[in-house]
Amino acid sequence: MEEKKSSKSNLVIHLSGDKYLISDGLCYWIATKTRKKDKKGNTVYQRVSGYHPEIEDAVDSYIRNHVRKTELTGEIKDLTELLAKTHKEVKGWVRKVEKALKEMEK
């Protein structure tokens, strides 16, 4: 699991694949890691959720945005499968975040 602070002192916790939980000390958001670098050579993250004071709200926002941006044919079965897959992905994040936060308290 990758945990690090960016140059802006943001907390960055790897969730899965290219997804990261980021916090600036005030709020949380989910972002994907891009291949781009900023002028200082730091990794650029693209936000894929809203900016929320609670982790749970950031995750809910990610799920809503993920479903909205997915092009489905309109069949309920497709939507149900997408939601099930997304919820399964997010459940794995909870354990990673809890573990990372406990390690940081040490």
User: Read out DSSP for 9-45?
Assistant: --EEEEEETTEEEEE-SS-EEEEEEEEEE-TTSPEEE
pLDDT-based confidence at 6, cuts 50/70/90?
A: very low
The answer to whether 30 touches 49, Cβ cutoff 8 Å, is yes
CA–CA dist 80, 6 (Å, integer): 36
- Comparing 4-13, 26-35, 67-76, which segment has the lowest mean pLDDT? 4-13
pLDDT at 1 over 60: no
pLDDT-based confidence at 7, cuts 50/70/90?
A: very low
For 38-70, how does the pLDDT look when each residue is reduced to its tens digit (9 = 90+)?
888 888 899 999 999 998 899 999 988 888 887
Q: Under 8 Å CB-to-CB from 26, ≥6 apart: which residues? A: 53
CA–CA dist 82, 93 (Å, integer): 17
CA-CA distances (angstroms) from residue 63 to 18, 40, 96, 102?
A: 15, 32, 18, 25
What integer pLDDT is reported at residue 51 of this predicted model?
94
Backbone φ/ψ region at 20: left (φ over 0), alpha (ψ -120 to 50), beta: beta
Domain ranges of the chain: 3-105
